[in-house]
Amino acid sequence: MVIAKEPVNYREKEFPMTDKDFQRIAGLAGRYTGIVLGEHKRDMVYGRIARRVRKLNLNSFTRYLDFLEANPQQELSSFINVITTNLTSFFRENHHFDFLIQKVLPEIKRKNGQVKRMRIWSAGCSSGQEPYSIAMTLKKFGIPSDWDIKVLATDLDSDVLAKAQAAIYSTSDVDGLDESTVKNYFQRNDGRKEVKIKEKVSEYIHFKRLNLLEKWPMKGPFDLIFCRNVVIYFDKPTQKVLFDRYADMLAVGGYLFIGHSENLHGISDRFENLGNTIYRKIR
């Protein structure tokens, strides 16, 4: 026997949230971040925005939204931070980093041997595990010390960027990494359950807050771009625009890495699919 799930009454929860409130939140999220909030995201939206309602000592979502729209300079950044999703780990989707070592970095080393320059972008870097994993991979591969290497790491959320720049993580964040990686690239804080990224890794990385839907200040070209588990929150027209802009930023033959649940089918014809959510720019 299947028991039907009772619908959630958002008017009877801690803070009332009407259908109109949810529609206003979805509209603001779309306008400022490009994220599409469907009805299935309603529980998530309630839980996250309730934090701000509580912190500001308000008593409803309507009052919070009125406050947000009247005080965007004060509250908009916090609204964006709670709406955006930040889930990441070191060497997540490890096959991408294997491909860097085996294919991409040897190719770039040959192709850019004269200029000795490499540019990488981690778009949607969250709390920093992705760009640090890229930098560790560069160290493992052994790019010569006289190369000019920069890893640009951007995110919309200023809170997670601050965490990324601090380069301090819980010891649980490095559970599962091989001991040589932890020993070579992390510094343990004695008596504390924390590790810090070593300076030889962080020296490559430049963090910057960036809204992907606004103007990009960098010029490129990049040799490779990581944009993983970011576009799943955007609608198809926005994805098409975004991937076209990524193609503009990549050198011909440059690589694009996307998330395991994403693909470019019907989105862009400027890349060839190499499998395992890895693409190469062809035009």
Q: What is the dihedral of CA 96, 102, 103, 104, to 10 degrees?
A: 60
For the chain, give the mean pLDDT: 91
Q: What is the domain-level CATH number for residue 55?
A: 1.10.155.10
Average pLDDT rounded to a whole number, residues 180-189:
93
Tell me what percent of the residues of the chain surpass a pLDDT of 90.
Answer: 72
List the catalytic residue out of 42, 48, 188, 280.
48
| Stretch among 8-17, 27-36, 100-109, 272-281 having the lowest mean pLDDT | 8-17
Q: Is the domain of 60 the same as that of 29? A: yes
**What was the pLDDT predicted at 85?**
66
| Stretch among 80-89, 202-211, 215-224 having the lowest mean pLDDT | 80-89
Within-domain flag for 89: no
Q: Is the domain of 52 the same as that of 98? A: no
pLDDT at 11 over 80: no
List the catalytic residue out of 21, 24, 155, 157.
155
Residue 119 among the catalytic residues: no
pLDDT at 238 over 70: yes
Q: Is the domain of 30 the same as that of 124? A: no
**What was the pLDDT predicted at 2?**
37
Number of domains in the chain: 2
pLDDT at 10 over 70: no
Which tokens sit at 281? Answer: 């720019």
**What's the pLDDT tens digit per position in 145-170?**
999 999 999 999 999 999 999 999 99
Q: Is the pTM of this model over 0.85?
A: no
* Domain stop point among 83, 109, 127: 83
**What was the pLDDT predicted at 232?**
76
Q: Is the domain of 119 the same as that of 240? A: yes
* Domain stop point among 83, 110, 136: 83
User: Residue 33 belongs to what domain range?
Assistant: 19-83
Q: Is the domain of 50 the same as that of 114? A: no
Residue 178 among the catalytic residues: no
Within-domain flag for 200: yes
**What was the pLDDT predicted at 5?**
41
**What's the pLDDT tens digit per position in 39-79?**
888 898 999 999 999 999 999 999 999 999 999 889 988 89
Q: Is the domain of 119 the same as that of 25? A: no
**What was the pLDDT predicted at 4?**
40
